[in-house]
Amino acid sequence: VVRNLAFCTEVQSYGCVKKFPEYEFTPDQEVLLYAEVENFASEETERGFHTAMRSSYQIFDSGGARVAREEFPVTEEYCQNPRRDFFIAYHLRLPERIYNGRHTLKLTIEDLKSQKIGESSIELTIVDAAE
């Protein structure tokens, strides 16, 4: 389960983020995307409990056409105890060539330990820097 997507200026810890007041961005702007993951698997190893997630996102315009797609590096973590909560903060750069208007970003996360996939979406607006 992927929950609580938010565009942030800062991520301090699980559930502790500073969100942008409005999700209005310009083309080629770098943003921080926060996501919480639930119902994930951890595998006990000699190094600790191993968690691994593969993530990607797609951006769609208001007509449903895909205007961007990107994959992130695999997020892996070893923890002394089984994790009960998990969050990921993604640095991403919005497309340089993207039309003004409403868009939807769809984040997909695959739990590599259980092969389960979760998705969540968040709305954003692209505005020209001159506006």
pLDDT, tens digit (0-9, with 9 covering 90-100), for 35-80: 999 999 999 999 999 999 999 999 999 999 999 999 999 999 999 9
Arithmetic mean of pLDDT over the chain: 94
Residue 129: which pLDDT band, with cuts at 50, 70 and 90? low
Q: How many CA atoms lie within 13 A of 120 on its CB side?
A: 15
Rounded Cα gap, residues 108 and 54, in angstroms: 8
Rounded Cα gap, residues 69 and 81, in angstroms: 34
Average pLDDT (6-30) is 94
What confidence score (pLDDT) does residue 94 get?
A: 95
What confidence score (pLDDT) does residue 130 get?
A: 57
Q: Checking phi first, is residue 28 left (phi over 0); if not, alpha (psi -120 to 50) or beta?
A: left
The answer to whether 60 and 66 have CB atoms below 8 angstroms apart is yes
